[in-house]
Structure 1
Amino acid sequence: MRLLITGGAGFVGSNLVRVVLREVPNADVRVIDDFSTGLERNLAGIEAEIVRGSILDDWALTRAMAGRDAVVHLAALPSVPRSVADPVSSHAANATGTVNVLEAARRADVSHVVVASSSSVYGANPALPKNELTWTRPLSPYAASKLATEAYALAYQASYGLPTLAFRFFNIYGPGQRHDHAYAAVIPRFVHAVLTGEPVVVHGDGLQTRDFTYVETVCQVLLDAVTRSVCHDQPVNLAFGTRTDLRTVLAELEQITGRRIDPEFLPPRSGDVRHSQAENTCLRQLFPDVANTPVADGLRATVEWFQEWLSGPESRAARHLSTVQRAGERPYRVTTTQ
């Protein structure tokens, strides 16, 4: 397997790199990342080639795409609030960037491309659970850009015969997820705050629900997709139909950590949806062997990772993704593009 992972230094990308190297003997993994949101420490101690560059840079992307059999396209500017503050950057990275990746893959005769969309595309559609064939109505520039991501992937499949698969991610969480920026996801923010004694901030009343999906499970599906070159002519929800409100997440964290949590409730954020839950019939048909990870188990593994990460800065990189078996200790190779 000669695989390119765009955004491979990010949360999902770096987890995927390790899962592939752990489970596929002699896998040749290359990453392209500009490290605008991903971290170099996420790739410490692995054997993968890194092209330091942006998917908006044609030269860097062409260099990264050369000789690849398959691509998992994860590079993006995440976060609804970030896109509300800066919609043009979100569009450039997520929509234009996807077109660039698909064009580069087409030029390089890549045989399979998997792209990451988002449950946020459902937006104002109140139906639960969310079915892939129901209407979409994005409520934020981020959601609109991810709808463009999946639409372009499916259009390239129809127009050029490029085999693609577009996943709609739902609230992925787990070891290695960043808490330390303004647009951090809710679970790493909660876990870090609880463990460090900082205020636990909830935007809204805490009764909003999400279909939380554990990152290891997501990576197993992504690996299976590229291994079997799975394609589909519609987007596919990558979640399991669970519906957990934020107050329940906090209650689970109290049980796991043994610490009392008194959240501070703030007004809801612009662009956030109230409820999210996936219909997963299509996922089960395409990936019948996939097994969900219960939220309580995923939260426990996430807390354990944060506890180890917080135990000392000198050990953070070495302990990255402690719930995932390390694939190797050799340094990664870095190709710098200018």
Structure 2
Amino acid sequence: MRVVVTGGAGFIGANLVRALLERAEVEHVTVIDDLSTGARENLAGLDVSFHEGSVLDRDLLDSAFAGADAVVHLAALPSVPRSLADPVSTHHANTTGTLQVLEAARRAGGPHVTAASSSSVYGANPELPKRESMAAMPTSPYAVSKLTAEAYLGAYHHSFGLPVLPFRFFNVFGPLQAPGHAYAAVVPAFVDAALAGRPLPVHGDGTQSRDFTYVGTVCRILTSAVLGRVTSPRPVNLAYGTRTSLLELAAEVERCTGRPVTLEHSAPRAGDVPHSQADSSRLRALFPDITAIGLHEGLARTVDWFRTRHAPLSGSR
């Protein structure tokens, strides 16, 4: 099997590439990444074909997709705050980029397309847990871009018979996730601060809660989806229904690092939702043999990676 990973030099993508290369069924992996948020060093030592460029580049996509059996589309401009600062760039990368990937897949003969969406599409809908059938109420340009991308995936399945599987990711964390930039996710920001002896940055009062998912679990699911050619035009939550507040997360980081932590509160961020928790029924039905790696174990592995990495990531993209 030949697999293309867009955004394959990023945090989730580079972890997925490693997981795919461990499978005997995978003959070759091709990576597309414009390095706007990823890094070549994330793929150091891996036997992949690397195409530096954007998913908006038709010719690059056609070259990379030639002979592919599956595409995992992870390339995106992440972050709600980033989308508030630059909505148009977020739309081009996430929505138009997904459309270009789907068109390239059609031209390539219809490889299976798995794609990353986001729990942010639920937005202002207060109901918990978040079920895929509930109304989406996006509150940021990022969320809108992901919801529109989902709609394109479903439309290409129904209109052109393209086998697709859109996943809604929930607060994925783990090794290779960079802390040192303005749009850093909360787990690497907390771990990096704790190990450096700095206060943990908390936007708001810390009672907001999230369904944290370890990247190893995400990669198990994505690999299983690719190898099994699992298809669903409807989105699937990729999280296991846990709910952890940022205050509880800070306490867990303190336990895993063995360092006493203090918190530095600031104003809540625009576009953030107060609570997020997945209904995992559909995920468990599609992937009954996969067990999630828990928050404590995932954080412990993440802390170990932070401690053993060769170069600090603070300031990296």
The TM tier, using the shorter chain, reads over 0.9
Q: Secondary structure at the match of 1:276?
A: coil
Kindly provide the CA deviation profile for residues 190-228 of structure 1, in whole angstroms up to 9, marking residues without a partner as x: 000110122311001111000000001100100100111
Give the TM-score normalised by structure 1.
Answer: 0.91
Give 1:135's aligned residue.
Answer: 135
Aligned twin of 1:186: 186
- Give the alignment of 1:161-200 within 5 angstroms: 161-200=161-200
**Structure 1 counterpart SS, 2:22:** helix
User: How far is 1:313 from its partner?
Assistant: 2.8
Q: What stretches of structure 1 move > 4 A for 4+ residues in a row? A: none
Deviations 1:282-317 (A, max 9, x none): 0011100110111011111100100011xx439x9x
1:25 Cα shift? 4.9
The answer (yes or no) to whether the contact 1:53–1:61 under 8 Å persists in 2 is no
Structure 2 residue aligned with 1:313: 311
Q: Deviations over 1:84-115 (max 9, x none)?
A: 00000000000000000000000111331001
Partner of 1:17: 17
The whole-number CA distance in structure 2 between the counterparts of 1:280 and 1:26 is: 28
Between the aligned partners of 1:170 and 1:267, the Cα distance in structure 2 is 23
1:239 aligns with 2:239: yes
Alignment check: 8 A CA contact 1:116 1:149 kept: no
> What SS does the aligned partner of 1:261 have?
coil
**CA distance in 2 between partners of 1:298 and 1:7 (Å):** 22
The residue that corresponds to 2:64 in the other structure is: 64
Q: CA deviation at 1:257?
A: 1.7
Give the distance between the partners of 1:61 and 1:25, measured in 2 at CA. 23
Q: Which residue of 1 aligns with 2:106?
A: 106
Displacement of 1:151: 0.8
Question: What SS does structure 2 have at the residue aligned with 1:237?
Answer: strand
User: 3-state DSSP class of the match of 2:175?
Assistant: coil
**8 Å Cα contact 1:34/1:52 also seen in 2:** yes
Matched, 1:150 2:150: yes
Amino acid at match of 1:313: A
Using the TM superposition, give the Cα deviation of residue 233 of structure 1 relative to its aligned residue in structure 2, in angstroms.
2.9
The residue number in structure 2 matching 1:81 is 81
Percent identity, aligned pairs only, is 58
Rounded to whole Å, the distance in 2 between the matches of 1:24 and 1:88 is 41
Distance 1:200 1:253 in 2: 10
User: Which string of whole-angstrom CA distances, capped at 9 and with x for unpartnered residues, describes residues 207-260 of structure 1?
Assistant: 100000000110010010011110113100000000000111111111122211
- TM-score under structure 2 normalisation? 0.97
1:288 aligns with 2:317: no
AA in 2 matched with 1:299: L
Q: Which moved more, 1:250-259 or 1:17-26?
A: 17-26
Residues 9-64 of structure 1, C-alpha deviations (whole Å, 9 max, x = no match): 00000000000101235521000011011001100000000011100111111111
Question: Which residue in 2 is equivalent to 1:123?
Answer: 123
Letter in 2 for 1:23: R
Tell me the residue number matched to 2:223: 223
Report the Cα distance in structure 1 between the residues aligned to 2:255 and 2:188, rounded to whole angstroms: 17
User: Matches of 1:254 and 1:212 in 2, distance apart?
Assistant: 17
Contact 1:7/1:75 (8 A) holds in 2: yes
Gaps in structure 1 of 5+ consecutive residues: 317-338
Alignment check: 8 A CA contact 1:11 1:176 kept: yes
User: Which residue of 1 is the match for residue 279 of structure 2?
Assistant: 279
Alignment map for 1:230-269 (pairs within 5 Å): 230-269=230-269
Q: Secondary structure at the match of 1:4?
A: strand
Aligned length: 313
Equivalence for 1:90: 90
Highest relative contact order (Cα 8 Å, sep 6+), 1 or 2? Answer: 1
The DSSP-based 3-state class of the residue aligned with 2:51 is: strand
CA distance in 2, matches of 1:257, 1:71: 37
Distance 2:220 2:180 in 1: 26
Q: Distance in 1 between matches of 2:28 and 2:248?
A: 41
Q: Is this contact kept in 1: 2:212–2:295, CA < 8 A?
A: yes
Distance of 1:56 and 1:180 partners within structure 2 = 27
